[in-house]
Structure 1
Amino acid sequence: MTATWKQRLIEVEVGAVAHGGHCVARHEGRVVFVRHALPGERVVVRITEDTGGSFCRGDAVEILDASPDRVQAPCRFAGPGLCGGCDWQHASWQAQRELKAAVVSEQLHRLAKLDWEVIVEDLPGGPEDWRTRMRLAVGPDGRPGFRAHRSHQVIPVDDCVIAVPNALDTVVDRTWPAKSELVVTRDAGGRTHLTEIGPPVLRRGRPVPGPSRLRQGSGTATELAAGRTWNLRSEGFWQVHPAAADTFAKVVGDWADCRPGDRAWDLYGGVGLFASVLADQVGPNGSVAVVESSHGAVADGKLNLSDHPNISWHAGRTEDVLGSPDFTDLPPDVVVLDPPRKGAGKVVVTAIARSRPARVVYVACDPAALARDIASFAQHGYELAQLRAFDAFPMTHHVECIALLEPAR
């Protein structure tokens, strides 16, 4: 068995970017996943994780030959051993988008056997001051912060360069109960909502989050997208970039292209952002079925879209709802899905493909999961027709993709 390299310093030539916010290097026959480096650099790496297998992980702690794309990180909490939230602060914004494009292309090639040129589009506002929703952890000393990469360690902060201005003002200037969590939302009206989630408690021998308490705001966030005003619980899901929801709704609407009288499915539909667009397209003689596992999101969606009687709501796991004969007896003309990071999976893909929609619009926050699901769709006769990628999470490795799949010609 190979002796552990943990804490060892090695010098490497950095290779290509990989999915997850790191680059690939090789040393003595082993793969090293390196954070805080850029392709083409020569760096000194401190090994941070090593289980003795074919690969290990490390941080670039000294830059010997820098990439021309390297910049000074704007946040003093970014760097080896510090906050794990931002992966690419040391790269120019253009380089960040190019790195993300390379990752999406590589995942499509490796997992879906597709050679696809990807361009990651920026959203308005620049790479800083954009994040409207944050979850902070509280350390043993009561100070709030963000966790280190792949660690439970809390890095205390007094600011965050990607957070919208003033969002954290009333959070970082005081101490909180140790091991609690803080959910901060800055809505479109400029109001800050803060919910404290108590320290974990044991329930049937397992730790679960403690009780939550609203500390600031009304608990109802107001958002603007798709030509509507949305009111939803502040800790519920909504896109974290101010321009993302409206941008994605427009692309989904363009590609869904429903006709009056069509039937549409909106899977993993949240509060119904995409359903609102589909409902306008299909009109009063059409129908939109929303499937969402969060009962809170369904309740919010029903209130926000009460003016759309052509929308039906189905609370439950998508794979369970799609397995119901009552649901699948009315096959859709168009399907929109926005699954969680793990993707839809073969069961859901198979159920969608069997219903034979004319178009499938897939919104994805993980390129690997998207590529796997595209490969599954291909097995059922659907091919990738269009793809757009957006830098909805600047400074991080995350990228949002929207894919259009159609029956193969």
Structure 2
Amino acid sequence: MASPGEGLPVGAEVEVDVTAFAHGGHAVARHEGQVLFVRHALPGERVRALVTSAGAGERFLRADAVSVLSASPDRVEPPCPWAVPGGCGGCDLQHVSLAGQRALKAGVVREQLSRLARLEVDVEVEAVPGDDAGLDWRTRVEFAVDDSGRAGLRRYRSHDVVPVDHCRIAAPGVDRLRVTEGSWDGAEAVDAVAPSVGEPVVVRVPEDGAGPVVRERVATSWTGPDGATVTFDRTFDVDARGFWQVHPGAAPTFLAAVMGELGVREGERVLDLYCGVGLFTAALAEAVGPSGQVVAVEADAAATDHARTNLADHPQVAVLTARVDDAFGVARPVRRGPSRRTGRPRAAARSPLVPPTADVVVLDPPRSGAGRGVCAEVARLRARVIVYVACDPAALARDTAALVEAGYRLDRLRAFDAFPMTHHVECVATFRPAEGGR
């Protein structure tokens, strides 16, 4: 095995056999014992790989497949001319058929749960309704701007701007804005947003004052606890640069998946953690009715301002602006200065708005996950069901291990291809008390 510093140099080319697909969108190969993470390759292929950079401590190398010597049956011609070595870094999987992409993502979810949670779970990645080609779906695109004021997309792991004509996965409303044809002197970036209600908008970054507010409509249905069909149709205010699902079919799909698992009953007490502008909160409030209670927690102040507006007709909802770990009184390390050294854990007082028990809990944390401390506090609520919406399989697996350790079992897992042409995958995991629990 090559020792650190003795491996292939950057710029070297080598023929390798690709053996696996890793979390993060990389195919995995080895050369004389050294691991290569190879973009634009597929398991089962033999490729010629160009080394582009070394990983931390040179424990691994990053590379691009610059030629394919033996192709996988899942390989296709990328629909975008910029999805090539040295091109745009936004899409990892344009060289893979949609069925192949979903199989790779399912394998990553299985592997992370097996490795980090010690669970063997069968996973199938489902298409999001309305998506049959994997293109023209992204309703929010941030374009980078170079020193000349030209907008484009970033090269992989680089600040370089690739001058694309238009993004092939961008929604038609984003394309109509023709951001890449304009001049954006003085801007660091340009956000193009095509909401489901109203006209597309452009936001210069940094903004001058408050950014625009857009409206998003969600219409869907699911089966309620009595077996009847529940319909939902509501419009939400959200900052143009705030968090909202970028695939137009994602929000209704995830909402139906979550509510169908929960079976919320009238009069129950529910926590909606990392609630954003209140998508799940609104449906939960309708389900528990005036006699129930929903506590929604979100760290982003702009999002909670919108949540209070969006939920003004539901007095049974309390919206708390706070980090979820702080709301539960979970100590977290303090980051000190530019070195980001970790200091002593920061003590936090549990918010009086967070109840000691709950019937139902929904979590939709950021990519880093909820964390062991939050999972332990959620388990102490003794909810009859917890549904966790995850955008990162590794974080989900770590938090699954924490919930299992705290007395819950993974009852069901669904995965959705809400980000076609990329390695990202969204999961909806349902947890219920293990034997002997509530």
TM-score (norm 1): 0.93
1:311 counterpart = 2:317: yes
Contact 1:384–1:403 at 8 Å: present in 2 too? yes
Runs of 5+ unmatched residues, structure 1: 199-209
The Cα of 1:392 is off from its aligned counterpart by 0.2
Please identify, of 361-370 and 256-265, the stretch whose mean Cα deviation from structure 2 is larger: 256-265
**1:206 corresponds to:** none
1:35 counterpart = 2:23: no
Contact 1:334–1:358 at 8 Å: present in 2 too? yes
Contact 1:195–1:212 at 8 Å: present in 2 too? no
SS in 2 for 1:14: strand
Q: Residue type matched to 2:92 in 1?
A: D
**1:177 corresponds to:** 185
Match runs of 1:160-239 below 5 Å: 160-168=167-175, 169-177=177-185, 180-189=188-197, 191-198=199-206, 211=208, 219-225=213-219, 226-239=232-245
What is the CA deviation profile of residues 52-87 of structure 1, one whole-angstrom value per residue up to 9, with x for unaligned ones?
533111010000011111100000111111111100
1:97 counterpart = 2:102: yes
Cα-Cα RMSD: 1.5
Runs of 4+ in 1 over 2 A off after TM superposition: 1-4, 51-54, 210-214, 218-226, 327-330
SS in 1 for 2:35: strand
SS in 2 for 1:15: strand
The Cα of 1:334 is off from its aligned counterpart by 0.6
Please identify, of 348-357 and 171-180, the stretch whose mean Cα deviation from structure 2 is larger: 171-180
Please identify, of 223-232 and 40-49, the stretch whose mean Cα deviation from structure 2 is larger: 223-232
Structure 1 CA distance for aligned equivalents of residues 271 and 281 of structure 2? 8
Match runs of 1:33-182 below 5 Å: 33-51=37-55, 53-123=58-128, 124-126=130-132, 127-168=134-175, 169-177=177-185, 180-182=188-190
Correspondent of 1:2 among 5, 23, 44: 5
Contact 1:265–1:290 at 8 Å: present in 2 too? yes
Structure 1 CA distance for aligned equivalents of residues 51 and 408 of structure 2? 43
Structure 2 CA distance for aligned equivalents of residues 141 and 321 of structure 1? 45
Structure 1 CA distance for aligned equivalents of residues 69 and 26 of structure 2? 18
SS in 1 for 2:203: strand
What is the CA deviation profile of residues 138-188 of structure 1, one whole-angstrom value per residue up to 9, with x for unaligned ones?
012211111111221111222111001141333111121256111111011
SS in 2 for 1:162: coil
The Cα of 1:325 is off from its aligned counterpart by 5.2
SS in 1 for 2:174: coil
Contact 1:140–1:179 at 8 Å: present in 2 too? no
Structure 1 CA distance for aligned equivalents of residues 50 and 279 of structure 2? 45
Correspondent of 2:263 among 257, 268, 274: 257
Structure 1 CA distance for aligned equivalents of residues 244 and 387 of structure 2? 19
Cα 1:165/1:54, change in 2 over 3 Å? same
**1:203 corresponds to:** none
Q: Residue type matched to 1:150 in 2?
A: R
Structure 1 CA distance for aligned equivalents of residues 15 and 410 of structure 2? 41
Structure 2 CA distance for aligned equivalents of residues 212 and 20 of structure 1? 36
Equivalent pairs: percent with the same residue?
A: 48
Structure 2 CA distance for aligned equivalents of residues 2 and 312 of structure 1? 56
Structure 1 CA distance for aligned equivalents of residues 93 and 235 of structure 2? 33
Cα 1:304/1:79, change in 2 over 3 Å? same
Structure 2 CA distance for aligned equivalents of residues 219 and 306 of structure 1? 17
Structure 2 CA distance for aligned equivalents of residues 190 and 34 of structure 1? 41
Cα 1:146/1:330, change in 2 over 3 Å? same
The Cα of 1:222 is off from its aligned counterpart by 3.5
Contact 2:40–2:64 at 8 Å: present in 1 too? yes
What is the CA deviation profile of residues 250-286 of structure 1, one whole-angstrom value per residue up to 9, with x for unaligned ones?
1111112121111000000001110111111111110
Structure 2 CA distance for aligned equivalents of residues 181 and 372 of structure 1? 34
TM-score (norm 2): 0.87
SS in 1 for 2:19: coil
Structure 2 CA distance for aligned equivalents of residues 54 and 330 of structure 1? 46
Structure 1 CA distance for aligned equivalents of residues 210 and 384 of structure 2? 46
What is the CA deviation profile of residues 67-116 of structure 1, one whole-angstrom value per residue up to 9, with x for unaligned ones?
11110000011111111110000000110101100110111111111111
Match runs of 1:291-330 below 5 Å: 291-323=297-329, 324=350, 326-330=352-356
The Cα of 1:387 is off from its aligned counterpart by 0.5
